[in-house]
Amino acid sequence: MKNISKNLFFAIIMVCSTVSFAQSIVTGTTVDPDSNLPLPGVNVVEKGTKNGVSSDFDGKFTLQTSKTDAVIVVSYIGYLSKEIPVNGNVDLGKIVLESSEFGLDEVQIIASVAVDRKTPVAVSTIRSEEIELKLGTQEFPEILKSTPGVYATKSGGGFGDGRINLRGFESDNVAVMINGVPVNDMENGAVYWSNWAGLADVTSSMQVQRGLGASKVAVPSIGGTINIISKTTDIEEGGSVGTSIGNDGYLKFGATYSTGLMDNGFAATVSAYKTDGNGYVDGTEFNAVSYFVNISKQIGEDHKLAFTAFGATQRHGQRQNRQLISTYRATDSGKRFNADWGYKNGQVTHQEDNFYHKPQISLNHYWDISDKTTLSTVLYASFGSGGGGGYSGTNKFGLGTDGVSDYRTGLYGPIDFDKIVDENEALGAYGSETILRASRNDHNWYGLLSTLDTQITEDIVLIGGVDLRTYKGIHFSEVTDLLGGQFYADDADVNNPNATYKVGDKWSYYNDGLVNWLGVFGQLEYSKDDLSAFVSLSGSNTSYKRIDYFNYLDSDPDQETDWYDFFGYMAKGGANYNLTDNHNVFANIGYFEKAAGFDGVFIGYDNENINPDAENQKIFSMELGYGYRSQKLSANINLYRTSWNDRTETYTYTESDGTNATANLLGVNAIHQGIEVDFTYRPTDKLRLTGMMSLGDWRWDNNLEGVEIYNEEQELIQTVDLYIEDLHVGDAAQTTFALGANYEIMENTNLMLDYNFYDNLYANFDPSDRGTEGAPDAWKVPAYSLFDLGLSHNFDMGPFDVRLLGRMNNIFNVEYVSDANDGTGSTSSTALVYYGAGRTFSIGAKLNF
């Protein structure tokens, strides 16, 4: 069949060629600018005609023009179209396409995006095209689930509650940067993905740098760095309108429009999406609106300004409380079961929910000072407001014995808020005994990140800069629903004893966490022929201050603490050597010290028990890598070993005068080592196979036995034992495999099948709780396999280039535990777990113009 159609095709060409005389043959090879590798599937069209071809698997094309004197238009999504005038038969040679996004190159420098076969770190990069194909209704971090070293889950399953562990490290040890701006929480280092709901729609690329990473600024890159580059501005005018629907009432729609680079030097892109749904898990209804604005202006030859603002305002019901497996099994909902919601006056009401809005605003300035020197500066601000909802007062929300509770409708049923309302109403002037509240975690964060990049010699580049941040975290509890009562009485505010509170009031606690950050960094890069190398040094001073408006009288000087300074630094280096055009090897090594988090300094939420000598955490990491690149196969192998020493561990005791004091325990260490393999194989131009294997060996390193804690009078207070030696690190699958196939089943139609396997997942536990000798490893969660299916189809409809996309995740509806907390005796019967989602689907259409 193939031969027949091919022959037919040629026959038609032959027929055509006999009638047309004035024609010529144009050949060439299309090339990707980043990898310098051939770019297949690029459209090559003779301008003003419908005469066109696509470049083949090797990037090669041959176009027979209808006129001798013609203009060839070379175009590809995400790249600038090129128009090339031709005359007669000609070989255009390599045609390097340029990114269509304005300012993307510059932002990639600020963000320290790693370059293949040059930057000596292990990386995986996912571009917007693939994000679009893979996302569906998944959480943003889940896009990375087929990447080595990654364990990503939906956690409780609420919208935006996803999480990602890298090489077994939790989010506070994984640096996340958006356009080069670090976004880990300034106080505890955590990353809240719900802050970034909708970011996937405006992401240009997402790069996971495992291990030390390529970041020049000091970031907590113990597990790795996730480097997200948002879209900037399209140089060409256009846009898109898209919508998708999915399981459990999922509906998303939105639009993007770019003005293109106008004559006055301005270019703007705006994008907005709205997403609503009921959630796969019971009681996880959500609403979100995400937006993105980018305005860029070229000022003269040498200056470029870009203003970016993006954010998402969202509210979603959560599954906060994990349950026993036997509990899920006893419920009607099974893996969708959630205890944390109910009905009030006929409306779904969440006992646990989350709402947040964090606009991230930045102004980028790029200045080509000379041919050899550039200065890139980002001035940014973000304002977070929101928090997590829960209850206070009398707990009426338990599941009861065997699912029977006076406050639930039916066995393991939803919460009967009406009964609670009735009881609160009956209390009259005594006020509510049970209310809903939100633990607010607002913040204001301003930062400046400036990078000077100068070419010292032809082979050596010096990069240096500053990283300044100032942050104020505002923590308080807010009454959100009195549940029928007249008020809520609470005595926590010493400045307002016997207070009564109404909806919107701050109560229970109210304090500020202030963090100032002063960082400098410098990096030398050497690159000549097949060798590239770098050394990098950075240091940062973190200052903490705490203000407590409730625990201390306004007249009490203790209401506001002094500043406490902590110094951290990082030194790393590495080299890559390209053995041949196919083979490269690299190595990197680094050491850094990370200051303790805010809670490691201000222990016990007060201004007296301060730990001014909180110990730095120390990380030593080294890595070897090998890469193979050819037209059909690219593959990587990495070996790594990361020692994480002196995990923040504090012990609080009471001094003889009754005050609390803190001792720092050193020596809680972990070693994460492993091997990672990944490949992409294109046997034909219709089929692309990808695969990954990641074998980790992540364990706590040593026991702490008989560590003696002394008070100020040098009296022995306590002897601490921690038995953790050789225990597996929990909360992330240490063994993962992935296999994927993307096959063009017919023209413009691709079928994608992905397989993921997770094993050696141990339940999460706190090593500080392991005081019993001989206790076993945490419960090992059963291994599980998931299959995902995708189908995409592109077609033209009038002026639109339409893409239809269907996805089904977990097609076999496998029931599995994705997250577990270890319980007594470390068995399946005591572990508190979240189930992963069963089969989910989405179908979407996007019209590009």
Partner 1 sequence: MKKLVFLLVAVGAMFTSCDPMEDIYNDLDSVDNPIVGSVEYTLVDDDYDALGLTYGTFDSDDQAKELIPGFLSDTYPIWGKGSSAFVTYDLYKSNSIKSTTAYTVTEDDYATLGFSYGNFDSDGDMTTLLMYKYPDAVRGDLVELTYLYYASGSTTEVTNSFVMLDSWEMILEFAYDDYIAMDQSYANFSNEDVAEFNISIYLKSLYPYAMEGDSVVTMYELYVSGADNEMNLVPYTFDGTSWNAVSSVISSTLQFGHDGTTWVPDNTITYTLVSADYTYMSSQLSSVSGYETPASSMGNYGNFDRREGNSAYWSLEMIETAMGILLDYNDPTAADDQKYLMTYDIYNGSNTTESMSLIKTDGVWVINE
Interface residue list for partner 1 (CB under 8 A): 321-327, 329, 339, 394-395, 397-402, 652, 737, 739, 755, 757, 759, 766, 768-771, 782-785, 812, 814-817, 821, 823-824, 828-829, 832
First-to-last C-alpha distance (Å) of the chain = 35
Least separation, in Å, of the C-beta of 430 and partner 1?
14
Q: Which is nearer to partner 1, 216 or 770 (CB)?
A: 770
Least separation, in Å, of the C-beta of 384 and partner 1?
26
Query: What does the H/E/C string look like for 630-646?
Result: CCCEEEEEEEEEEEEEC
Q: Which is nearer to partner 1, 81 or 768 (CB)?
A: 768
Q: Which is nearer to partner 1, 101 or 731 (CB)?
A: 731
Q: What is the CA radius of gyration of the chain?
A: 29
Q: Which is nearer to partner 1, 212 or 786 (CB)?
A: 786
Least separation, in Å, of the C-beta of 245 and partner 1?
29
Cα–Cα distances in angstroms (integers) from residue 39 to residues 78, 123, 140, in the given order: 12, 20, 27
CB under 8 Å to 295, separation ≥6 — which residues?
233, 266, 267, 268, 306, 307
CB under 8 Å to 411, separation ≥6 — which residues?
330, 331, 332, 402, 403, 404
Task: Sheet containing 24-31: give its strands across.
Answer: 60-65, 24-31, 90-96
Q: How many CB atoms lie within 10 A of CB 455?
A: 15
Q: How many CB atoms lie within 10 A of CB 678?
A: 21
Q: Which is nearer to partner 1, 402 or 562 (CB)?
A: 402
Q: How many CB atoms lie within 10 A of CB 700?
A: 23
Least separation, in Å, of the C-beta of 394 and partner 1?
6
- Residue 62: strand pairing partners: 27
Cα–Cα distances in angstroms (integers) from residue 520 to residues 137, 210, 372, 463, in the given order: 40, 23, 22, 11
Categorise residue 656: left if φ over 0, alpha if ψ from -120 to 50, beta otherwise.
alpha
Question: Whole-angstrom Cα distance, residue 634 to residue 210?
Answer: 18
Q: Which is nearer to partner 1, 192 or 835 (CB)?
A: 835
Least separation, in Å, of the C-beta of 771 and partner 1?
6
Q: Which is nearer to partner 1, 324 or 843 (CB)?
A: 324
User: Token pair of 119, please?
Assistant: 């930057």
CB 377 within 8 A of CB 450: yes
Q: Which is nearer to partner 1, 339 or 514 (CB)?
A: 339
User: Token pair of 91, please?
Assistant: 């070989």
Q: Which is nearer to partner 1, 356 or 737 (CB)?
A: 737
Q: Which is nearer to partner 1, 617 or 810 (CB)?
A: 810
Least separation, in Å, of the C-beta of 622 and partner 1?
27
Q: Which is nearer to partner 1, 265 or 604 (CB)?
A: 604
Instruction: Choose among 259, 261, 254: nearest CA to 240.
Output: 254
Q: Which is nearer to partner 1, 295 or 832 (CB)?
A: 832
Question: Whole-angstrom Cα distance, residue 796 to residue 790?
Answer: 20
Cα–Cα distances in angstroms (integers) from residue 416 to residues 269, 397, 398, 408, 421, in the given order: 47, 9, 12, 5, 9
Q: Which is nearer to partner 1, 144 or 692 (CB)?
A: 692
User: Which residue has 């001798």 as its token pair?
Assistant: 68
Q: Which is nearer to partner 1, 752 or 817 (CB)?
A: 817
CB 737 within 8 A of CB 787: no
Least separation, in Å, of the C-beta of 319 and partner 1?
11
Helix, coil or strand: residue 69: strand
Contacts 24+ apart (CB under 8 A), 291-295: 291/198, 292/201, 292/202, 292/230, 292/231, 292/256, 293/268, 293/269, 294/230, 294/231, 294/232, 294/233, 294/268, 294/269, 294/270, 295/233, 295/266, 295/267, 295/268
Q: How many CB atoms lie within 10 A of CB 599?
A: 17
Least separation, in Å, of the C-beta of 431 and partner 1?
15
Query: What does the H/E/C string look like for 403-458?
Result: CECCCECCCCCCEEHHHHHHHHHHHHHHCCCEEEEEEEEEEEEEEEEEEEEEECCC
